[in-house]
A and B are shown apart, each in its own frame.
Chain A
Amino acid sequence: MKKRNTKYQALRIAIIFALLGIAWILSSDLLLSNIAKSFHEYEHIQTYKGWFFVVIVAIILYYLVKYQLALNNKLSDELLQHEMKFKNTMENMLEGVQIIDFNYRYSYVNDVAARHGMKRKEKLLGNAMMECYPGIEKTEMFQKLEQCMHNRKYHKMENRFELPDGSSGWFEVGIQPVPEGIFILSNDITDRVEAEQKNKEAQQRLIEAQRMAKMGDFTWDVQTGEVTWSEALLDMLGYPRDQEIDFDMINTLIHHPDDLESVTNWLYSSLESGSEILEPHEYRIKDKNGEVIYVCTQGKINIQKDGKKTIFATIQDITNLKENELKLEESEKRYKNLFMQSPDAIFINQQDVIVLANKAFVNLVNAEQIEDVIGKSPFDFFHPDFHDHVREKIHKVREEGIEISSYEEQIRSLKGSVIDVDVHRSSFENEGFTGIHVILRDITESKRAKQALIESKRQLNTVMGNLPGMAYHTTLDAQWPMEFVSEGCFDLTGYTTGELTGSKHITFGNIIIPEDRDNVWKTVNEMIRKARQFVLEYRIQKKDGSIRWVWDKGIVLQKEGGEKHSIEGFIIDITDRKDAEKALEEYQNELEVKVQERTEELEAFAYSVSHDLRAPLRAINGFSDILLEEYATDLDDEGKRLAKVIQKNSRNMSMLIDDLLTFSRAGRKAIQLTNINMQEMVKSVYYEATTEEKRKNLELIVREIPNCMADTSMMRQVWMNLLSNAIKYSSKTDKPRIEINWKEGNSKLIYCIKDNGVGFNEQYIDKLFGVFQRLHNVKDFEGTGVGLALVHRIIKRHNGEIWAKGEENKGATFCFSIPK
């Protein structure tokens, strides 16, 4: 429209201008001819008029052109703006805009479309779709485009596009034919689609949740009677999805017959009440298998404007809950039972009134029945002396809600007797009120037992106090810090129990005299390592300074974890004993000395006696011999015989004295042990004891007897005596045989000499080794009876043993042992 206007406008302006010009010229000429006086003036004015005219025209032209240009600018600005707006709109559209020409080339693409297509605008513009998105020809959208190209109709579709980066999205596409080609409007509905999907999922989850919560829901259109069950409800009851639900089915199969009435009442009363809320109601239903399920149903009643009602309700399976409820009921019942039957007396105190009590309590307070105590105040039963105490405890339980055990309160029974009790109080919820749960235990018996224990402890203490020593309990520490000492410590140490056990004062370790302290510590530890107890003697210094010997026995008590050991023990003062021991020792030493002196005196005496006896013997022998020799002719046979008797007897006496002397010497001479070749000694003694004549008739067998450690001269004496005996006592046998043998003993050597001589009667074996004891007559076998005693003495001094076996006329065997 503007175009036309422009044309006409321009023409109009030109015509006006021309007319105005003409008008000016004519008018001005007219004016001028009137005004100008000369031609010359006329010419000047004409020129000025001309200039004036030109100037006016120029000015008018200037403003006109400016106006026009401005208008033009404005128009073009407006046009530009419009274009911009248009472009902006396109650009700012949430939708993607693509304009393709008839060759399927992109003539315009907005940012969104470019984004949708994941390509740069620049890449797209001017290029064919097929070039930009290879394969696009196969898509449904492209087909629609083609259709649109041909039938120039609007098409709409939703499409899932595969994008160049491999991802995909949902797009709603509007295809609009436009003069230039096709205008494609695309909407990214991926989010929407996804949201829809999520919604679906959420719905599914909700259904699942309902299923898990054992919830189902249903709707009931009251007017039409139509009932719809949710999937969850169907599943909950085990019915298939295509199950037909109607009233009959519900009433016969679903509802539990016992609850049908209550359900019906509940439903109808709710409907009639006009309320919009269906209050919860619990009842039983049956599932497809006939199993009973407890359910709780609640919901909304939707009342439409026309009064039509629809119920939207949820049903929840509360079988578990119900079961738990029943269990709780049962456990409450059980508790009640327990409460009643408990041997401990229990009552519930509510606001200082006994509201509940059990049988035991009734018995405790000597009541007849429970009713006698219900309603009374606990203070009626607690002994007045304890009322403040009880009040305090009750207050504490109430305020702080804690449990309190209280020991040794007293109650008074209805008969007036006082009973000692331990009381335990705790908070107790009972039908909305907080009371106090009170348990009482009769401790009369236990109190008695405690008293008995205290008494026995006292007795023990008395006993300990009267013991002549100190019982103690300490830890294993070089300071011996006493944890406990009995009363006896005062007599023992001069310190009181307090002084010894308080760590501020001295410790027992201080009392042990310094010289003995280290030894005590060391010895105790050594003994404990071996046997977990110790016994030792040491000295202490009493408070008064005196030193006393003590005997200490202790046992280690095992303690767990690396704590120091505990020791329990007993200490006695043994100073008297020690003094006695010392005195005894001294006395013994004195005795030893005395004995030694005596022995020496005795030996000197024995020596001098035998020594002095020799001389007269010599004289007797000598002179009786002289008598025989020189006065033989004057003596008859009898006289000679008498003289001989004298001689023989003095000889005997001489031998006796010798033997005695040897015997006494054997007792006191010191033993000097050397390694003795016994075999050699035996042989040598044999030769000394026998003449060649005798040896001819004698069979001597000496086995390989081992060496031994003994005193040479003494051992020689032993062999001399034993061998001489063997020879002597087998001298009367035809074939005298002597065998010397040996055997190994328990860390000793045993030597034996066996003969086949006249033997001896074992009946007299006790006399064998006695001094001067003989088992044979001197007529048969000479001898003084000292020989074996001597051998016995010597062997004993070597710490050996000697014994013999014999049989009359069969021979004898003498054995002696020498320690190795």
Chain B
Amino acid sequence: MIHEECEILIVEDNPEDAELMLRSLKKMNLANQVIHLEDGAEALDFILTQGIYAQRKNIIAPRVVLLDLKLPKVHGLEVLKEIKSNPETKNIPVVIITSSREDPDIKKAYDLGANSYIVKPIDFREFMTTLSHIGFYWMVVNERPN
């Protein structure tokens, strides 16, 4: 994983949610280079290419980070903050995918520079549909900076 190419980084501590996400991405044939991390600290190391992932320095950054807020070790918003305040990583699109519909979280996320905020639909079907839309959008439609 350390050296794998990563187009989509999913930071999600719930394995089932993660599995559903992967499934939908797979359905869209977008699941090739998807890396799934389970806590905020590891996510930070990965994106900031530090720690155990220090060797990823020369690997291209992911096309999009799907970031949950409720993460162990480091909170999603903290991760977002770190990503967006680091000049080297601030351009990476971060899509907050979380269960919280709470206004303060939404506002804070956008304040910190989130590119998008998606509330996980309760219905799994909807969930999966939404995911595929997200995947399609960020991987296909969106232009990334160089």
B and A form one assembly? yes
CA distance A618 to B123 in the complex (A): 6
Contact B124 A615 (CB under 8 A): no
Among A231-239, A497-505, A621-629, the one that faces the other chain is A621-629
Q: Which chain A residues numbered 636 to 681 have a C-beta less than 8 Å away from chain B?
A: 654, 658
Partner of A619, one of B16, B99, B125, B128: B16
**Most interface-central of A607, A611, A615 (chain B CB within 10 A):** A615
CA distance A15 to B99 in the complex (A): 208
The 0/1 profile, CB within 8 Å of B marked 1, for residues 602-633 of chain A is 00000100011011111101110110000000
Contact B99 A616 (CB under 8 A): no
B16 to A, closest residue via Cβ: A619
B100 to A, closest residue via Cβ: A611
Least CB distance from B28 to A in Å reads: 16
Contact A618 B100 (CB under 8 A): no
Tell whether B88 is near chain A: CB-to-CB under 8 Å: no
Contact B124 A621 (CB under 8 A): yes
Total contacts A-B at CB 8 Å: 43
Contact A658 B122 (CB under 8 A): yes
The 0/1 profile, CB within 8 Å of A marked 1, for residues 112-128 of chain B is 00000000101111011
Partner of A616, one of B16, B23, B102: B16
Contact A621 B123 (CB under 8 A): yes
The 0/1 profile, CB within 8 Å of B marked 1, for residues 212-230 of chain A is 0000000000000000000
- The interface residues of chain B lying within 8 Å CB-to-CB of A658 are 122
Least CB distance from A606 to B in Å reads: 13
CA distance A434 to B127 in the complex (A): 134
Least CB distance from B18 to A in Å reads: 10
- The interface residues of chain A lying within 8 Å CB-to-CB of B14 are 615, 619
Contact A622 B16 (CB under 8 A): yes
**Most interface-central of B14, B122, B128 (chain A CB within 10 A):** B122
Contact A614 B16 (CB under 8 A): no
Contact B125 A618 (CB under 8 A): no
Contact B20 A615 (CB under 8 A): no
Contact A618 B122 (CB under 8 A): yes
- The interface residues of chain A lying within 8 Å CB-to-CB of B127 are 618, 622
Least CB distance from A657 to B in Å reads: 8
CA distance A622 to B123 in the complex (A): 8
Partner of B122, one of A607, A617, A626: A617
A615 to B, closest residue via Cβ: B14
Contact B20 A622 (CB under 8 A): yes
- The interface residues of chain B lying within 8 Å CB-to-CB of A612 are 99
Least CB distance from B10 to A in Å reads: 15
CA distance A614 to B16 in the complex (A): 12
Chain A contact patch, size range? 10 to 19
A616 to B, closest residue via Cβ: B16
A654 to B, closest residue via Cβ: B122
- The interface residues of chain B lying within 8 Å CB-to-CB of A619 are 14, 16-17, 20, 124
- The interface residues of chain A lying within 8 Å CB-to-CB of B17 are 615, 618-619
Q: Which chain B residues numbered 113 to 146 have a C-beta less than 8 Å away from chain A?
A: 120, 122-125, 127-128
**Most interface-central of A614, A616, A658 (chain B CB within 10 A):** A614
**Most interface-central of A616, A617, A622 (chain B CB within 10 A):** A622
CA distance A654 to B120 in the complex (A): 13
Least CB distance from B2 to A in Å reads: 29
CA distance A351 to B23 in the complex (A): 145
Least CB distance from A611 to B in Å reads: 5
CA distance A625 to B23 in the complex (A): 12
- The interface residues of chain B lying within 8 Å CB-to-CB of A654 are 122-123
- The interface residues of chain B lying within 8 Å CB-to-CB of A607 are 102
CA distance A622 to B124 in the complex (A): 5
CA distance A350 to B29 in the complex (A): 150
B17 to A, closest residue via Cβ: A615
A625 to B, closest residue via Cβ: B124
A624 to B, closest residue via Cβ: B124
Contact A618 B23 (CB under 8 A): no
Least CB distance from B43 to A in Å reads: 18
Contact B128 A622 (CB under 8 A): yes
Contact B99 A614 (CB under 8 A): yes
B12 to A, closest residue via Cβ: A615
- The interface residues of chain B lying within 8 Å CB-to-CB of A618 are 16-17, 20, 120, 122-124, 127
CA distance A623 to B18 in the complex (A): 12
Least CB distance from B131 to A in Å reads: 11
Least CB distance from B127 to A in Å reads: 6
CA distance A617 to B124 in the complex (A): 9
CA distance A612 to B100 in the complex (A): 9
Contact A626 B123 (CB under 8 A): no
CA distance A622 to B127 in the complex (A): 9
- The interface residues of chain A lying within 8 Å CB-to-CB of B128 are 622
Partner of A614, one of B23, B102, B122, B125: B122
Known: A615-B14, A619-B16. A625 touches B125 (CB 8 A): yes
Q: Which chain B residues numbered 34 to 71 have a C-beta less than 8 Å away from chain A?
A: none
Query: Can you list 29 contacts pairing A with B, beta carbon distance less than 8 Å?
Result: A607-B102, A611-B100, A614-B122, A615-B14, A615-B16, A615-B17, A615-B99, A618-B16, A618-B20, A618-B120, A618-B122, A618-B124, A618-B127, A619-B20, A619-B124, A621-B123, A621-B124, A621-B125, A622-B16, A622-B20, A622-B124, A622-B125, A622-B127, A622-B128, A623-B16, A625-B124, A625-B125, A626-B23, A654-B123
> Can you name 19 extra interface pairs (CB under 8 A) apart from A621-B124, A622-B128?
A607-B102, A611-B100, A614-B99, A614-B122, A615-B17, A615-B120, A616-B16, A618-B16, A618-B17, A618-B127, A619-B16, A619-B17, A619-B20, A619-B124, A621-B125, A622-B16, A622-B127, A626-B23, A654-B122
B residues in contact (CB < 8 Å) with A: 14, 16-17, 20, 23, 99-100, 102, 120, 122-125, 127-128
A residues in contact (CB < 8 Å) with B: 607, 611-612, 614-619, 621-623, 625-626, 654, 658
**A-B residue pairs, 4 tightest by C-beta:** A622-B124, A619-B16, A621-B124, A622-B20
